[in-house]
Structure 1
């Protein structure tokens, strides 16, 4: 006698298995389970970039709709790391759209701790002055480039420590680094980030 085995429930599958099955079958339930697993982290990242919380919640939902199409077409090896970067980029796109929309959209605020010796963007209140908007965009682009130029380990430790508010022990557990190495990556990352930004062209020079 032959028995038909039921397909495994989405909750029984790993991230990689859910991704593979979603690419093959396109079942939204599979992607929903996968996204729900990582939603606390996605929301935490959105809250670092967007205020009020309602805007962060909207971004979380918008990102899921975006993933419905993207993950059918692209293969992702390390989903948590890819999702982290995708969420960050999505938030930056929202901030840029607000900036282009004008002052009625409110202040452009991207948080980065002053203790790092680095200004992320500020709070930068938008005005009708196009030069002020260009200045804010230039700072944002400079920071993005500086972060991208960091060694991957330093960049990841900075993101986990400052954006996700994780302690050394949690970062060590997530990355596999020794806690002393986490500390070293944070120190070197802050120093290199500041060096990159200090050496970048000063947007005030053209004003």
Structure 2
């Protein structure tokens, strides 16, 4: 059975009707605002981000096949905030996983206004290079280039289920490597 949300997604993809997109997005606006506020700590900036994210949905949902809108929207909103903060030089990190970005070390430095030390970024890059070729390629495409699973599968030629497995195992291996090499 197709949910109302999935039906709205499919109908929007076909028609591009912004009223459908508005009906789809409206229930999630408070959640997106809360997520943005977590990163920006500024009400006006967070409100602006909610609208910018909506505007980005106009094009992205016509291109991407989204099966779980809530989790896809969460990732999109989080990446929007991180990219914006990174562009403003207020944060200097590569968002591979919430565990890495929001570990105690990173939270402490983020809240104190300090930038993440170059050696931590170098460690993250070094650990990425330790992953096998498939995991490394999928992680880079999915997180750093913000490709969806389907796009990663198309770009790499890997089966969709393999792509999901490479990303999941790559994240786990990256976390293990980061923990193992922490000073």
Name the counterpart of 1:62: 52
**Would the alpha carbon gap of residues 117 and 27 (structure 1) be closer, same or farther in structure 2, given more than 3 Å must change?**
closer
Pick from 108, 119, 125 the counterpart of residue 105 of structure 2.
119
CA deviation after TM superposition for structure 1 residue 59, in Å: 0.9
What are the within-5 Å matches in structure 2 for residues 1-207 of structure 1? 14-99=4-89, 108=91, 118-121=104-107, 122=109, 123=111, 125=113, 135=118, 138=121, 197-200=178-181
Q: Give the aligned length.
A: 128
Normalising by the residue count of structure 2, what TM-score does the alignment of the two structures yield? Answer: 0.56
CA RMSD of aligned residues (A): 3.8
Q: Deviation per CA, 1:72-94: give whole Å up to 9, x if none.
A: 11110011111111111111101
Runs of at least 4 residues off by over 6 Å:
none
Q: Deviation per CA, 1:118-139: give whole Å up to 9, x if none.
A: 222423536xxxxx67739939
Gaps of 5+ in 2: 129-172
Name the counterpart of 1:176: none
**Would the alpha carbon gap of residues 30 and 20 (structure 1) be closer, same or farther in structure 2, given more than 3 Å must change?**
same
Instruction: Give distance in 2, aligned partners of 1:44 and 1:53.
Output: 10
Higher helix share: 2
Normalising by the residue count of structure 1, what TM-score does the alignment of the two structures yield? Answer: 0.50
Gaps of 5+ in 1: 1-12, 100-106, 127-131, 146-191, 203-207
